[in-house]
Structure 1
Amino acid sequence: MKTIKDIYNISQGELKAKYALDIWYNTLIEKTVTEIDITDICRMLRQEIFIELAIERALEYLKQNPLIGDVYDGQLLELLSSVDVIKLKKYKKSIKELLFDIKTRLDINDFFSQEDYIEYVDLLEKFLDKLDSR
């Protein structure tokens, strides 16, 4: 299976990474698509690198667990909703279908508090509005 470095044709010599982000990036590009985990996806979305790959993997993870996140529940959906709507255009239909599915399956008992539930539903609504705005 091809690594990210192979997919994106990244030629990289021996780099001595000093910073955590560089170390993570060098590790990431050696992974295959299926090896990318939730931590990688969240970081890819925050750093805006390999964005299409990050969106595709994020959708796969959200289908399995709508509340998934690296640090806190709902983080992945929040990061995905922060991506520029133009970059989401190709995935608009899939994202909307996913959001509607999440909305119908959502249960207040999946949350620690009613406030968390309300905040998540609000995030879903705002994301849907964002997708409809363009």
Structure 2
Amino acid sequence: MQFLSMIRINENGTRRPDEQLMRAMGQLIDEMTAEGTLLDTAGLRPTVEGKRVRLRSGRISVFDGPFTETREVIGGYAILEAPTMQRAVELTRRFLALHGEGWELECEVRQMERGPDGCG
């Protein structure tokens, strides 16, 4: 089964990873990729560079970032391969544990659902 782990951050209050943390994350990414549990991962650019596309009452609108009304945003993601939700949570905990004290992060883990043709 595949799971999407979404990293929620407070964009205005989140620290930037230092060189040591970046090296540790690189090692973890390499390990999890080699063991087949990490299929893809990436950080996301700031919301000031983003757009929101909304459908409401049959009308589509596009809004420029930043999205100041949103306290937390998705700052990155990982697509995980795991036999159970419990295992996907364990894999996500490995990522969060690298950060140590001084960080306040939250990940939302959800199973991905694909149709018979492989599309969502």
Identify whether the pair has TM-score above 0.5, normalized to the shorter chain: no
**Which structure has more RCO (C-alpha within 8 Å, separation ≥ 6)?**
2
Please give the TM-score of this superposition, normalised by the length of structure 2: 0.25
TM-score for both structures, normalised by structure 1: 0.23
Q: Say which structure is richer in helix.
A: 1
**Bigger share in strand:** 2
